[in-house]
């Protein structure tokens, strides 16, 4: 009887290996140790054995029943864990952006190239100790012109065609306008801090002018200003060149020439060799091979005074980078109007994931 029980147990183990679901395993359990299971059937003959045989077979039979019960319990647990894992895998929610695009085909946004460059420039200047400032789009003529050494009758007001507001003026009686340059933030920056200081101010500006390959009515600039003692043109050129080198990751050809801006003296135009045509001449550079990118200069004493700073003690430099033109130069974009076209085919080229 013992060998019969042992061989049943071996059969049981073989069958158990092939059972995959909890139901199958429970059926197998009933098949072997249920009321009329195979083991139970064998044990019904126990009563026909002698007392000595019963003493030997009884404990062995109980042990086999216990082993089967344990094997069943272990297998049930293993199958349960497997089933839970399978359910988790089937119901997995993929929060990864790439995967969701692959599986759903849905489109999602990326950064506009102007944002990418702006963030890059902000990082460069932050690492050189500059703050990043912001200012309002709607300004008054004091911040846009007067504090920048451009009084009402100054011909320089015509340099930037302005969108004026008809009816409103500030409490001081100054007319409102859409800022034509980020130099307005120079004024606000100076009035709100004590020298020495250095900051940049990126932002959108507005000009009522005809658009072409390198001119928009709404575009972005990035103003910069550094005020302290004994600041020189050498400092200005160092910061400008370092910034361009960091952005282009190579030496780009630039030229510095005198430029007139009422708020700086001396003033310069920093032009970059046109990266669209390589200097050969195209519609972006108006066939000159050069693009006006980064006007700059030493801050005019009148401007420092309007900003509450003593020009006999402090001086500094300022610059006003054309951000859209920089994006065009960096990526070889041949028309500024692509930047605001809203055409996703254009924007998608610059996705950063
Ligand atoms: C100014 O706006 C001065 N405020 C810059 C400045 C600041 C000079 C501090 C000195 C010191 P300008 O009008 O040249 O300057 O514009 C600056 C840059 O903005 C230009 O070099 C050009 O890169 C860009 N820009 C000007 N007009 C447009 C336009 N219509 N579309 C796109 N970019 C433009």
The residues, ordered by sequence, that sit 6+ positions from 268 with a Cβ below 8 Å of its Cβ are: 256, 257, 258, 259, 295, 296, 297
C-alpha–C-alpha distance, residues 201 and 183, integer Å: 8
pLDDT at 25 over 70: yes
Helix (H) or strand (E) segment spanning residue 256: strand 254-258
Phi-psi region of 338 (alpha: psi -120 to 50; beta: other; left: phi over 0): alpha
What residues line ligand 1, using a CB cutoff of 6 Å? 160, 181, 183, 207, 209, 215-216, 219, 221, 223, 261, 263-264, 267, 292-293, 295-297, 318-320, 322, 324-325, 336
What ligand 1 atom has the least distance to the C-alpha of 160? 13
Residue 35 — very low, low, confident or very high, per pLDDT cuts 50/70/90? confident
Whether the Cβ atoms of residue 68 and residue 33 lie closer than 8 Å to each other:
yes
Give residue 91's pLDDT: 80
Residue 159 — very low, low, confident or very high, per pLDDT cuts 50/70/90? confident
Percent pLDDT > 90 in the chain is 59
C-alpha–C-alpha distance, residues 15 and 9, integer Å: 10
Give residue 104's pLDDT: 64
What is the best residue among 274, 322, 330 to mutate for testing ligand 1's pocket, by most ligand atoms within 8 Å of CB?
322
Task: Write the DSSP string, 55-107.
Answer: HHHHHHHHHHHHHHHHHHHHHHHHHHHHHHHHHHHHT-----HHHHHHHH---
Give residue 105's pLDDT: 64
Cα-to-centroid distance, 295 and ligand 1 (Å)? 7
Give the chain's largest Cα–Cα span: 129
Residue 211 — very low, low, confident or very high, per pLDDT cuts 50/70/90? very high
pLDDT at 129 over 80: yes
Give residue 202's pLDDT: 97
Bridge partner list, 176 = 140
pLDDT at 128 over 80: yes
pLDDT at 103 over 90: no
C-alpha–C-alpha distance, residues 70 and 79, integer Å: 14
Cα-to-centroid distance, 110 and ligand 1 (Å)? 27
Q: What pTM was estimated for this model as a whole?
A: 0.71
Task: Write the DSSP string, 284-352.
Answer: TTTTSSEEE---EEEEPHHHHHHTT--TTT-EEEEEEEEHHHHHHHHHT-S-GGGTTS--HHHHGGG--
Cα-to-centroid distance, 271 and ligand 1 (Å)? 11
Stretch among 31-35, 307-311, 321-325, 343-347 having the lowest mean pLDDT: 343-347
Give residue 99's pLDDT: 57
Whether the Cβ atoms of residue 184 and residue 133 lie closer than 8 Å to each other:
no
Average pLDDT over residues 12-26: 91
Q: What is the mean pLDDT of the chain?
A: 89
Domains identified in the chain and CATH numbers: 2-90 (no CATH), 113-350 (3.30.930.10)
Q: Whose CA is nearest to atom 18 of ligand 1?
A: 322
Residue 62 — very low, low, confident or very high, per pLDDT cuts 50/70/90? confident
Query: Phi, psi at residue 164, to the nearest 5°?
Result: -95, 150
Task: Write the DSSP string, 161-227.
Answer: ---EEEEEE-TTSPEEEE-SSTHHHHHHHHHT--SSEEEEEEEEEE-----BTTB-SEEEEEEEEEE
C-alpha–C-alpha distance, residues 304 and 300, integer Å: 7
Task: Tell me the pLDDT tens digit for each residue of 213-231.
Answer: 999 999 999 999 999 999 9
What is the best residue among 320, 336, 337 to mutate for testing ligand 1's pocket, by most ligand atoms within 8 Å of CB?
320
C-alpha–C-alpha distance, residues 283 and 337, integer Å: 13
Query: Token pair for residue 40?
Result: 């139970």
Task: Tell me the pLDDT tens digit for each residue of 333-346.
Answer: 999 999 998 888 88
Task: Tell me the pLDDT tens digit for each residue of 236-249.
Answer: 999 998 888 888 88
Cα-to-centroid distance, 297 and ligand 1 (Å)? 13
Q: Whose CA is nearest to atom 27 of ligand 1?
A: 215
For CA atoms 142, 146, 151, 156, the dihedral sign is negative
Highest-scoring range by mean pLDDT, 154-158, 213-217, 251-255, 339-343:
213-217
Nearest to 247 by CA among 188, 311, 328, 306: 328
Average pLDDT over residues 125-130: 94
DSSP state of 139: E
Helix (H) or strand (E) segment spanning residue 255: strand 254-258
């Amino acid at each position: 009887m013992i060998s019969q029980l042992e061989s049943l147990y071996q059969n049981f183990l073989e069958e158990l290996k092939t059972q995959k679901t909890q139901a199958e395993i429970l059926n197998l359990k009933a098949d072997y140790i249920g009321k009329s299971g195979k083991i139970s059937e064998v044990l019904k003959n126990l009563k026909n054995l002698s007392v000595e045989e019963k003493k030997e077979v009884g404990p062995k039979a109980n042990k086999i029943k216990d082993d089967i019960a344990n094997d069943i319990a272990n297998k049930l647990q293993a199958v349960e864990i497997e089933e839970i894992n399978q359910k988790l895998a089937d119901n997995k929610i993929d929060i990864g952006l790439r995967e969701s695009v692959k599986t759903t085909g849905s489109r999602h946004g990326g950064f506009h190239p102007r944002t990418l460059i702006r963030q890059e420039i902000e990082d460069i200047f932050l690492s050189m100790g500059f703050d990043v400032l912001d200012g309002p789009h709607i300004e008054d003529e004091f911040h846009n012109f007067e504090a920048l050494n451009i009084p009402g009758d100054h011909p320089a007001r015509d340099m930037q065609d302005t969108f004026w507001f008809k009816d409103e003026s500030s409490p001081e009686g100054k007319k409102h306008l859409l800022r034509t340059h980020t130099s307005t933030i120079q004024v606000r920056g100076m009035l709100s801090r004590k020298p020495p200081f250095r900051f940049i101010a990126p932002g959108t500006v507005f000009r009522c002018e005809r658009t072409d390959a390198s001119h928009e009515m709404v575009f972005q600039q990035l103003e910069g200003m550094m005020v302290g003692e004994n600041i020189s043109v050498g400092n200005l050129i160092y910061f400008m060149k370092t910034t361009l080198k960091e952005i282009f990751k190579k030496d780009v050809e630039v030229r510095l020439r005198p430029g007139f801006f009422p708020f700086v003296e001396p003033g310069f135009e920093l032009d970059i060799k046109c990266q669209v045509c390589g200097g050969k001449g195209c519609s972006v550079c108006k066939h000159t091979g050069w693009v006006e990118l980064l006007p700059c200069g030493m801050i005019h004493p009148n401007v420092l005074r309007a900003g509450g700073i003593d020009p006999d003690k402090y001086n500094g430099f300022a610059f006003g980078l054309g951000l859209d033109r920089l994006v065009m130069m960096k990526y070889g974009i041949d028309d500024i109007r692509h930047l605001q076209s809203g055409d996703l085919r254009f924007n998608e080229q610059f996705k950063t994931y």
